[in-house]
Copies of this chain bind each other. A is one copy, B any other.
Amino acid sequence: MPNDKKASTSTKSAIQALVFDAYETLFDVSSVATSLEQKFPGQGAAVSAAWRAKQLQYTWLRALTGQYEDFWKVTESALVFVCNDMKLHVQGGLQVQPAPVERAARAKLMDAYLHLEPFPEVKQVLQSLSAQRLAILSNGTLAMLQGVVENAGLKKVFSQIISADEAKTYKPNPAVYELAVGKLGLDKHKIGFVSSNFWDVAGAKAFGFRTYWVNRSGAPEEELGVRPDATLRSLSDLGSDSF
């Protein structure tokens, strides 16, 4: 029963730190839809989904070609493309060759990325787990991660915030997961990795972490030849008895 939550109890003693992905796992990326909806009435959710998909695509492509740009720039590039592709115009436009007003509109949307809402259960669950070593390992830059963690009042629960920026590449490149091993000073088999992004779980599992997939939406598993060690409905399933 490799995919059963209860199965994880048996290795409870082995896991010495829990490492969390940030975007979609702790913080609801779709909460930018509110800002987007104000700019593009009726299309906030669609733009939000397209922005996130393009942002991820750009990280993978840049990691594969070695043309690294940090996550803030990649996120902004993804927004520019999506606005061009969906022919979206804010006051002053968000099109190519931005005028000052366009830059201001873009900056406001980007700012939403520093104020993402944590999922409802996050704060309570993390506080209940705070006797454990908890860390974040994310594609976000350190500034982005510190911003979103502080704005959500979660600064004290994490012993470390680790950014892929330090490796100048992106998940699921093994070099990013390796950062956590080095920073935590733990064997990779002693690290539990928690993510809502199945592709991230698959990368972390292939790397050697024990993996917890947070499947809030009841999505099917991705067909990547790798299965999570445990699948959770929310972070609330990460009770102190589960690792």
Going nearest first, the 7 A-B pairs with the smallest beta carbon separation are A77-B223, A84-B220, A60-B60, A81-B223, A65-B172, A65-B206, A65-B203
Count residues of A near B (Cβ-Cβ below 8 Å): 33
Dominant secondary structure at the A interface: helix
* Inter-chain contact B58/A224, CB cutoff 8 Å: yes
Q: List 15 A-B contacts (CB under 8 A).
A: A57-B199, A58-B224, A62-B224, A64-B64, A65-B174, A65-B203, A66-B174, A66-B206, A67-B202, A67-B225, A77-B223, A77-B225, A78-B223, A80-B223, A85-B220
Provide the A11-41 mask, 1 if CB < 8 A to any CB of B, else 0. 0000000000000000000000000000000
Q: How far is the CB of A230 from chain B (nearest CB, A)?
A: 19
Residues of B close to A84: CB separation below 8 A: 220
* Inter-chain contact A202/B60, CB cutoff 8 Å: no
